[in-house]
């Protein structure tokens, strides 16, 4: 748990370590995140090559970064729901479904961005 008394630079350093731990945990436990990182690894160089202007390049890369961000948040929601309990509960299912819908929407946004810019 975070040191609640840390201030200034020490707090920022702690936050960086916690963020790295979050990336590692998500990579280890979430196949969807690994797939989306692979998508990013392929699409980022393509965006730099296919984008004509700096804005197009940023939009192409940013749309895939958005997918990663939403997946991280979805994974956090799922971890909290699973921490509470594995028995079926309507609200737990709803929380997971909403997180999944957010990921799907971010993927659709990325696809639309790529299609509009490249076509």
CATH code of 74's domain: 1.10.287.3610
Domain membership of residue 76 (yes or no) is yes
36 is catalytic: no
Where does 53-95 show beta strands of DSSP type E?
Answer: none
Domain membership of residue 4 (yes or no) is no
How confident is the model over 54-94, as pLDDT tens digits? 999 999 999 999 999 999 999 999 999 999 888 889 999 99
Q: What is the pTM of this model?
A: 0.89
Domain membership of residue 19 (yes or no) is no
- Provide the domain count of the chain: 1
Domain membership of residue 13 (yes or no) is no
Domain membership of residue 21 (yes or no) is no
Task: Look up the domain containing 68 and give its range.
Answer: 30-118
Domain membership of residue 1 (yes or no) is no
Comparing CA positions, the residue from 20, 117, 109, 118 lying closest to residue 72 is 20
* Cα 64 to Cα 69: distance, rounded to the nearest angstrom: 9
- Spot the catalytic one: 31, 56, 71, 78: 71
């Amino acid at each position: 748990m975070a040191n609640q008394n840390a201030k200034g630079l020490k707090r920022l350093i702690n936050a960086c370590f916690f963020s790295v731990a979050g990336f590692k945990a998500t990579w280890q436990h979430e196949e969807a995140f690994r797939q989306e990182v692979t998508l990013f690894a392929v699409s980022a160089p393509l965006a730099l090559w296919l984008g004509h202007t700096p804005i197009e390049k940023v939009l192409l890369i940013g749309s895939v970064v958005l997918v990663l961000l939403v997946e991280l948040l979805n994974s956090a929601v799922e971890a909290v729901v699973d921490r509470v309990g594995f028995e079926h509960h309507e609200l737990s299912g709803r929380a997971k479904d909403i997180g999944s819908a957010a990921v799907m929407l971010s993927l659709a946004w990325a696809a639309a961005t790529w299609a509009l810019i490249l076509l």
